[in-house]
Amino acid sequence: MTARIGILALQGDFAKHLEAFSELHCEALPVKRPQEVMDCQGLVIPGGESTTIGRLCQRFGVDEAIMELYQRGAAIWGTCAGMILLAKEIEGSDQWRLGLMDIAVRRNAFGRQVDSFETDLTVEGIPDGPVRTVFIRAPYVTRVWGDAKGMAAFDDKIVMVQQGNLLATAFHPELTEDRRVQQYFLGMVQQ
């Protein structure tokens, strides 16, 4: 069975996610409406502007569809802005969020756009050596609790977390040629 992966396409970096999952021979499609979200086995919330994505989720009713998808046990992965939207706590902000993961995050924690960088990280659960990672105005996780567990860190700052069927990365795996993080997520979808 081919997994159907929805890439939330309201704003931000969704096209590169579509390309990455297409390379893995699964059905990847942009989703903008509640029913499109509900028709997926897995959902990616991409990088972009977290406040804008949040507002658009609420405006189009996609927020309720994501919550229902989560309740059904589908896998959901947030990258960068998506990580912020999945967090229960956002330091210094009362912006809207889905609040599904037992994590606190700090927005733009590594600096501005000009401070973007790439590095290799060891990721728990991903074999065959370090993963190349791209950080762009990235958040990081300042605290985990409950069932959330850190999977990767940079300078002692948690940048990848899993909690059950939820995955969050501060970095952008879709911007490299390495598809191991996408394959890891597909494994979550198929469980």
SS3 state of residue 35: helix
26 classed as catalytic: no
SS3 state of residue 167: strand
For the chain, domains (ranges, CATH) are 4-190 (3.40.50.880)
80 classed as catalytic: yes
40 classed as catalytic: no
Predicted structure pTM score: 0.96
In whole angstroms, give the CA distance from residue 10 to residue 31. Answer: 8
Q: What length is written for the chain? A: 191
- Short-list 38, 87, 96, CA closest to 62: 38
Candidates 25, 91, 174, 177; catalytic one = 174
Residues 70-109: tens digit of each pLDDT:
999 999 999 999 999 999 999 999 999 999 999 999 998 8
- Short-list 177, 184, 189, 132, CA closest to 161: 184
pLDDT on residue 1: 55
Candidates 17, 36, 80, 89; catalytic one = 80
Are 76 and 100 in contact by the 8 Å Cβ rule? The answer is yes
Are 65 and 37 in contact by the 8 Å Cβ rule? The answer is yes
Candidates 26, 40, 57, 172; catalytic one = 172
H-run or E-run covering 119? strand 117-121
